[in-house]
Structure 1
Amino acid sequence: MDRLKVCLLGPLHHVTRTTVLSWLSEISALKNCSVLRALTAEANGWVPGVVSTEVLRTQEEWEAVDNIQPETGSQASSDQPGQLISFSEALQHFQTVDLSSFKKRIQPTIRRTGLAALRHCLFGPPKLHQGLREERDLVLTIAQCGLDSRDPVHGRVLQTIYKKLTGSKFDCALHGDHWEDLGFQGANPATDLRGAGFLALLHLLYLVMDSNTLLMAQEIFRLSRHHIQQFPFCLMSVNITRIAIQALREECLSRECNRQQRVIPVVNSFYAATFLHLAHVWRTQQKTISDSGFVLKDLEVLAKKSPRRLLKTLETYLAGVSKRQASLLGAQKCCGPQAPHSKDLTFTGVCDLLPDSSEGTWLS
């Protein structure tokens, strides 16, 4: 709608009368307001480069138009796509709905036999504490749930991811080519969630809605749109969620979960840390989409072998981001809001920050 407003209320000399009428016809079903009636009247008597006072008067009314739901045409409310949704709110939805049919499908741990079972018992990671197994099972159950576009919460999750990554203030259709711009393979994001289920979308939601990881997510997204090193951002994220699921089932994360006495935050951080390392490898080693299979294979081996190392690297990176944010805020307060931005205050790119030797070793 915003693009249409600019086209109709801005310079009209490059738009044909037929095009204007076509646009108005397409959106007339969305909202029957006086501005559309006025614009239609203007188009019927349209003269190139001339905008009537009637249209100019109704421009102000346009600003008050509520967000429109692309598929239903209804106004946004707290129960429908339109409002951003937090990770905790989305998680609470899955904690309260009946997931018994999905829970039957999960395999909480890898079944090992023979020497593999003996080796794992003697040298493998510790078992997850009994009190944490219900939380682990919830994570694995969500990974069995698909995307249901009829569920308002599912729709809000998708809309939030889209808005936070693109900066858009308006809702978009839950199916369409615009999802390919975010790195899905087609017009329907649901088709790319196999093997990770709705957990893949919850991980993306966590990445863009957590204030500590939002800047990181946006920088990785920009890297994914590089003219040479581009890769499908959301599809890559789904693959990293699959790695997190396998690491959880193979008990690679049990030690850290036991230490923190929680599962979901550990899995979220492990996902973010793995994505961060992928971006570091991708950027510094000049990887392209043709390398993606090899990169993901090596990433899975490293992630399962050294989860604590990945998590420590994430902590170091985010601490550096926080310091730079604090420095920038302090400089703005000292110099005033009108002070020009100094080149010394700009944020470094993702993975450019090297940790202190006391805090861990940067992954290469």
Structure 2
Amino acid sequence: MVFFNLWSVLQWYLRPFIKWFLRKTTRLCELQRICYGDKPGAERSRNVEKSLMLSRTRDVKQVVSYLDNTVLERSFVPRNFPEILNPSVAIILRAKKINPKLHELFIVSFRRCLAQIWSYRLLLEEVEEMRKTHYDSSLPEHEEKLLKLWSLLVPNEDLESRVTKQWQYIGFQGDDPKTDFRGMGLLGLENLLFFASEYPQASSHVLSHSHHPKYGYTYAVVGINLTSMAYYLLKDGSAKTYMFNARQYLPNMNLFHKFYCYLFYEFDKMWIESKPENMMEFSIIFKKFENAIRNELADPASVFRINIEVDTI
């Protein structure tokens, strides 16, 4: 640990010299070397972010601060990208002495990286806000979402009342589901609802597994535990691999929900394949699953998607 800290300090002091040496020998700044040399997606965007965060150049620091403020103001959205990203890129080009006419490909690549990095930061803010929003049974919009979840998962059976043991059929612990949302707030419900509405065959398939006579589990409670996993993977940056490699999309709430759906479907597969003796093995299998996901996310080339065949099961 001491050696690691010493090496980190040494790298900090040597970094300017190394960058100067590479610029002289390659005639490219660090950002150019990353955008031209790294694979598009997680590898490139992560390294661009690291370079920007470690930069000691005043103009670069100001651009980072400005982009952070647009996130806090919730204005970092695609319709505002021209007025936000164009001047930001121009300042970086000037600060790094990059000729825009000679490096048009760099501009496209770098701009994409900025869009990914700060879209991810905006997503963090939005997810955190939803997590902190408590489920409130006095709010019609909250109640409507909960009742919609039931109708999607159990379309052929009506609820006898708002508070009923029927909720246990889809894996809530008691007669009133609102108590299970305390940890993850409205985020847990939104995740469950997205899975049921966007992947009806897959969610039905997983729900049927939760009723297995030997390997059954509490569908909704496990789903909320997976919301917690997705949340912490997003918060500690591990989910950047998933978000940045989804090349047709920028990080947003929809993509976070899809990440959650992937986790739910894959956890269900691992649970059934593990053939647990009972629910007492949940924490062991859940930890094993989290470690497997983290190992996959550690590879910047990893791409995650729900198998299309699931919708035909």
Q: Shared fold by TM > 0.5?
A: yes
Question: Is 1:300 aligned to residue 290 of structure 2?
Answer: yes
Which residue identity lines up with residue 148 of structure 1 in the other structure? Answer: D
TM-score by length of 2: 0.58
- Which of 116, 129, 146 matches 1:158? 146
Alignment of 1:82-101 (within 5 A): none
Counterpart Cα distance in 1 of 2:252 and 2:238: 12
| 2:74 counterpart residue number | none
Aligned to 2:209: 223
Q: Which residue of the partner structure matches residue 10 of structure 1?
A: none
1:287-345 per-position Cα deviation (integer Å, ceiling 9, x unaligned): 23121111111122222332498984534x12x245xx5xxxxxxxxxxxxxxxxxxxx
For residues 168 and 148 of structure 1, do their structure 2 counterparts lie closer, same or farther at Cα, with a shift above 3 Å needed?
farther
Are residues 1:276 and 2:262 paired? no
Code of the residue aligned with 1:219 in structure 2: it is: H
Aligned 8 A contact 1:161 1:204 in 2 = yes
Deviation at 1:130, TM superposition (A): 2.2
Of residues 230, 246, 253, the one that matches 1:264 is 253
The structure with more helix, counted as a fraction of residues: 2
Letter in 1 for 2:221: L
Q: 1:170 to 1:247 in 2, by over 3 A?
A: same
Partner of residue 248, structure 1: 234
Equivalent residue in structure 2 for 1:237, among 216, 223, 239: 223
Paired residues for 1:93-172 under 5 Å: 115=5, 126=46, 127=49, 129-168=117-156, 170=158, 172=160
Q: Secondary structure at the match of 1:201?
A: helix
Rounded to whole Å, the distance in 1 between the matches of 2:142 and 2:164 is 16
Match of 1:205 in 2: 193
Name the counterpart of 1:27. none
SS of equivalent to 2:132: coil
1:280-359 → structure 2 map (5 Å cutoff): 280-287=269-276, 288-307=278-297, 312=303, 314-315=305-306, 317-318=307-308, 320-321=309-310, 325=312, 347=313
Cα deviation for residue 134 of structure 1 reads 2.3
The structure showing larger relative contact order (alpha-carbon pairs under 8 Å, at least 6 residues apart) is 2
Q: Deviations over 1:134-177 (max 9, x none)?
A: 23211111011111111111111111111111123645533221
- Give 1:132 deviation, angstroms: 3.8
Q: Which amino acid aligns with 1:184?
A: F
Change in Cα spacing, 1:311 to 1:207, as seen in structure 2 (3 Å) is: farther
Contact 2:242 2:303 in 1 (8 A): no
Contact in 2 for aligned 1:270/1:311 (Cα 8 Å): no
Unaligned runs of 5+ in 2: 16-42, 50-115
Q: Distance in 1 between matches of 2:204 and 2:302?
A: 19
> Which residue of structure 2 aligns with residue 344 of structure 1?
none
Assess if the C-alpha contact under 8 Å between 1:183 and 1:232 holds in 2.
yes
Relative to structure 1, the CA distance from residue 205 to residue 184 in structure 2 (aligned partners, 3 Å threshold; closer, same or farther) is same
> Cα 1:272–1:307, aligned 2, differ >3 Å: closer, same or farther?
farther
Task: Count the aligned residue pairs.
Answer: 203
Q: Contact 1:149/1:174 (CA < 8 Å) preserved in 2? A: no
Could you tell me the percent identity over the aligned residues? 18
Q: Distance in 1 between matches of 2:173 and 2:228?
A: 17
Q: Is this contact kept in 2: 1:155–1:174, CA < 8 A? A: no
Q: 1:296 is aligned with what amino acid? A: F
CA distance in 1 between counterparts of 2:126 and 2:178 reads 20
- Superposed CA RMSD in Å reads 2.9
